[in-house]
Amino acid sequence: MSGPLQDTICAIATPVGEGGIGILRLSGEKAIEVAAGLVWLRSGKPLASARSHRLYHADILEGAAGRSPGGQPHPSRPIDEGLVVVMRAPHSYTAENIVELHCHGGPFVLQAVCEAMVRAGARMAEPGEFTKRAFLNGRLDLAQAEAVLDTIRSKTAGSLRLAQEQLRGGLSQEVNRLRDTLIRLLAHVEAAIDFTEEDIAFIQPQELADGIQRTMAEIARLAETCREGRILREGATAAIIGHPNVGKSSLLNALLMADRAIVTPIPGTTRDVIEELVNIRGVPVRLLDTAGLRQADDPVEQEGVRRSQAAMERAEVLLIVLDGSLPLSEADRRLFARHPDKKRLVAINKCDLPSRMTQSELAELTALAGAPEPERAETVPIIHVSAKTGEGLDRLRDAIRMRLLRVNFEPGEAALVSSVRHQAALLKAKDALGATASSVERALSGEFVAVDLRAAINALGEITGAVSTDDILDRIFRDFCIGK
């Protein structure tokens, strides 16, 4: 995707649509010269004389502005008036010369200015090209560049804090520290290869083995934070499931605090899966309201039930809803047999009505829910709620968060991995270290040890971009918006 770094690139940096202000940016060595072709300072002074990081009132013109031989300005037709700021290299986002124009925020006017920029010699930027330049010019490392996108996309305070921690270099520091340790070990191993004749022991095998084991454990710990990191960054999907009329749609509406899904006393109301993003105690959760599960005769309802099943497959969390104003049914019991591998919660709804569940049924439910799930010794929380009065909803929110994150988990307290790319690189480094450890243990020659050690170092380098390929860069930056 990338064009040559010498080009001056331009883009509209604000979203499409009408707004008070719309911003365009130009970046490149010649950005100020290009901008001078369409920006006419009201002070009459040339743009090249503008001080860095100062706003100037200016007219933005269709074409080349100039002065008559008598010194009188003869600007071409104005497109708009606005403010212009010059940010000289290297003190700018891209570390190149940047000119930003703040115009009126209409799609047509911004497009017209953008076209004038191209006429003046700029090229339209590709998605993420400004940030890519910041990376290529050494202003940001790759993990920090990715954090720019995470910041733009963050949906909760937690995901924003995580992105900001990464943007400030929290994760990069941790990765660089581990990488430096391995580079030091490699230096010892390589020295031992080079000076093997002299019979000097540069590092004792035990010391080398210990160093590798320690780093491997730290890499594994960091890779494990990916589960929580991803939940904060990308959110989790929770399907609300249960029989018709138990109050699934009512619960969705209550958690959303909006009248989103149709609620009626008629069983079989919901057909399509309804998906909404809601912030639950700082975690972005995609809630899926589904059609009530039952043997339906109506083909439309049958399709709804099929979609409910697909939603269950897709979700990481199942919120099983029961109607507490009815006795526990056989069908209710069978609900617990579904997807025991998923994280489950039970909401006994309609607790504003007299309970028809007997103590023994409740005890049975507790036993059913408490049956240890395979590979997980957690119990399934049971919460009494009323979608109608709002009772118990706070406890339900707490329980959903607890199903997703560790207790007392606070984002931003330690370096966290939130992207699959980073996790994959960490696991690759860990595997390479495993191979290194086994070579050391088998007392293989230094060359063998060095090859795997270098692979581990390179894998860690992929996270920060110390080691990168065009392919990796293209994959990362194509997700960005144009103008960032």
Residues lying near Mg ion in the complex (CB under 5 A): 248-249, 269-270
Among 21, 258, 331, 353, binds ligand GTP (CB under 6 A): 353
Return the number of the residue (241 or 476) whose C-beta is nearest Mg ion. 241
- Residue 28 has φ and ψ, to the nearest 5°, of 145, 165
> For ligand GTP, which stretch binds (CB under 6 A), given 201-209, 347-355, 409-417, 447-455?
347-355
Return the number of the residue (22 or 244) whose C-beta is nearest ligand GTP. 244
Among 102, 179, 233, 248, binds ligand GTP (CB under 6 A): 248
Give how far Cα 484 sits from Cα of 126, 167, 344, Å: 9, 15, 40
Rounded Cα gap, residues 16 and 196, in angstroms: 65
Based on the shown chain and the rule CB under 6 A, indicate whether residue 247 belongs to the binding site for ligand GTP. Answer: yes
Minimum distance, C-beta of residue 283 to ligand GTP, in the bound complex (Å): 23
Minimum distance, C-beta of residue 387 to ligand GTP, in the bound complex (Å): 4
37 Ramachandran zone, left/alpha/beta (phi>0; psi -120 to 50) = alpha
Minimum distance, C-beta of residue 268 to Mg ion, in the bound complex (Å): 8
Opening angle at CA 453, ends 452 and 457, nearest 5: 115
Minimum distance, C-beta of residue 293 to ligand GTP, in the bound complex (Å): 8
Based on the shown chain and the rule CB under 6 A, indicate whether residue 352 belongs to the binding site for ligand GTP. Answer: yes
* Prior bond of 244 cis (ω within 30°): no
Minimum distance, C-beta of residue 304 to ligand GTP, in the bound complex (Å): 8
Residue 330 · residue 385 · CB < 8 Å: no
Return the number of the residue (27 or 249) whose C-beta is nearest Mg ion. 249
Return the number of the residue (88 or 388) whose C-beta is nearest ligand GTP. 388
Nearest to 397 by CA among 290, 278, 307: 278
Minimum distance, C-beta of residue 419 to ligand GTP, in the bound complex (Å): 36
Based on the shown chain and the rule CB under 6 A, indicate whether residue 386 belongs to the binding site for ligand GTP. Answer: yes
Minimum distance, C-beta of residue 253 to ligand GTP, in the bound complex (Å): 8
> For ligand GTP, which stretch binds (CB under 6 A), given 5-13, 107-115, 222-230, 386-394?
386-394
Minimum distance, C-beta of residue 248 to ligand GTP, in the bound complex (Å): 4
- Select the binding partner of residue 265 from Mg ion, ligand GTP, none (C-beta < 5 to 8 A, by kind): ligand GTP
Neighbouring C-beta atoms of residue 65, cutoff 10 Å: 23
Q: Token pair for residue 57? A: 């009132």
249-308: contacts with ligand GTP (CB under 6 A): 249-250, 263-265, 267-270, 291-292
> For ligand GTP, which stretch binds (CB under 6 A), given 27-35, 103-111, 223-231, 244-252?
244-252
Q: Tell me the pairing of strands 19-27 and 98-105.
A: antiparallel
Based on the shown chain and the rule CB under 6 A, indicate whether residue 411 belongs to the binding site for ligand GTP. Answer: no
Residue corresponding to tokens 């029961």: 322
41-100: contacts with ligand GTP (CB under 6 A): none
Among 102, 161, 286, 350, binds ligand GTP (CB under 6 A): 350
The CA-based diameter of the chain, rounded to the nearest angstrom, is 100
Give the CB-nearest residue to ligand GTP: 292
**CA torsion angle for 163, 169, 136, 119 (degrees, to 10)?**
40
Rounded Cα gap, residues 182 and 396, in angstroms: 46
Nearest to 387 by CA among 257, 271, 288, 275: 257
Neighbouring C-beta atoms of residue 247, cutoff 10 Å: 24
Task: Provide the residue type at 467 as one letter.
Answer: V
Minimum distance, C-beta of residue 338 to ligand GTP, in the bound complex (Å): 16
Q: Which residues, including other chains, have CB under 8 Å from residue 431's CB and lie 6 or more apart?
A: none
Give how far Cα 275 sits from Cα of 213, 230, 238, 402, Å: 45, 20, 10, 21
**Where on the chain is the footprint of ligand GTP (CB under 6 A)?**
242, 244-250, 263-265, 267-270, 291-292, 349-350, 352-353, 386-388
